[in-house]
Amino acid sequence: MGELYYLHVSPWSEKARWAMDLSHYNYTKINFTPMITTPIVRIRSRNFTRKVTAPTLISNQLCISDSYNIAQFVNNKNSGEHHASVDLFPCELKSQIDEFDILSNQILQAGRALVCIRMKNHRGAKLMSLPPVIPSAIRPIMLPVATMGLYYFKAKYGFNWNKREEYIETMRRGLRKVKKQLTNSGDYLLGTFTYADIALAVTLQMIEPIGKKYIPLDSDTESCWKTPELKEEFTDLIEWRNRIYQKHRST
């Protein structure tokens, strides 16, 4: 049993949670609030030098940060303990899965920059980004804190407010590779369902969110996650993502 620090809107957290759920890993979810939860996770994970990010999985015996490492850990544990019906990391596909996870991260990093750029100019989404414990009546006076949160992300992840077009192009290039691969491989990137499908399916959240059945978002926040410039070109990928969720993501 572990505790997963996660950010409910984040596709990185979704990658880890999806693999954990498929691997029947028993865990408690703890909301990660940027800036506020960071020192707690830093101390609990004894990480005094590297970036603290969500997802991070902590239990008495272990501490694993990074969605990919968490997914691999729960998959191995599942394969070792049960006759697992799902193997997300078949040995023979490991190097290709690694490459797809790198591609996933490139797309997600560009997507995160775009989401933050949109949020910066969206009062409603900024108000909704404040921790849920803050009563709605005093949220408006906390608006500068929400803005500060976006500048914190900018500094931590090194993006630029003025490179919107560049980030859209990075996403386009990455998603074209996914599209090309699926043309040759069928409904799964590597011929069979693996972590590569999870890693790339979650990137579409930053073009057209999957919907509240899987990832609840208020309407202001949801509007900041949409990339209409890419929707038409990647309609087939969005449909692919929807099929993958329907077949492999239980709620």
* Cβ atoms 52, 101 nearer than 8 A: no
Cα 75 to Cα 86, 87, 146, 172, 200, distances in angstroms: 8, 7, 37, 30, 18
Q: Least CB distance from residue 177 to ligand GSH, whole Å?
A: 19
**Cα–Cα dist 118/14, whole Å:** 21
Q: Least CB distance from residue 7 to ligand GSH, whole Å?
A: 5
Q: Please report whether residue 38 would count as binding ligand GSH according to CB under 6 A.
A: yes
CA-angle at 189, arms to 159 and 93, nearest 5°: 95
Looking at beta carbons only, is 161 or 247 nearer to ligand GSH? 161
Which residue carries 């492999």 as its tokens?
A: 248
Query: Looking at 61-69, 87-95, 165-173, 236-244, which segment touches ligand GSH (CB under 6 A)?
Result: 61-69
Q: Please report whether residue 75 would count as binding ligand GSH according to CB under 6 A.
A: no
Query: Looking at 5-13, 42-50, 166-174, 231-239, which segment touches ligand GSH (CB under 6 A)?
Result: 5-13
Q: Exposure of 221 by Cβ count < 10 A (0-12 exposed, 13-18 middle, 19+ buried)? A: buried
Of 200, 203, 197, 3, the closest CA to residue 86 belongs to: 197
Looking at beta carbons only, is 112 or 241 nearer to ligand GSH? 112
Q: Which of residues 229-248 bind ligand GSH (CB under 6 A)?
A: none
Query: Looking at 62-70, 137-145, 177-185, 199-207, which segment touches ligand GSH (CB under 6 A)?
Result: 62-70
Query: Looking at 21-29, 40-48, 50-58, 238-246, which segment touches ligand GSH (CB under 6 A)?
Result: 50-58
Q: Exposure of 92 by Cβ count < 10 A (0-12 exposed, 13-18 middle, 19+ buried)? A: exposed
* Footprint of ligand GSH (CB under 6 A): 7, 10, 12, 34, 38, 53-55, 66-68, 112, 156
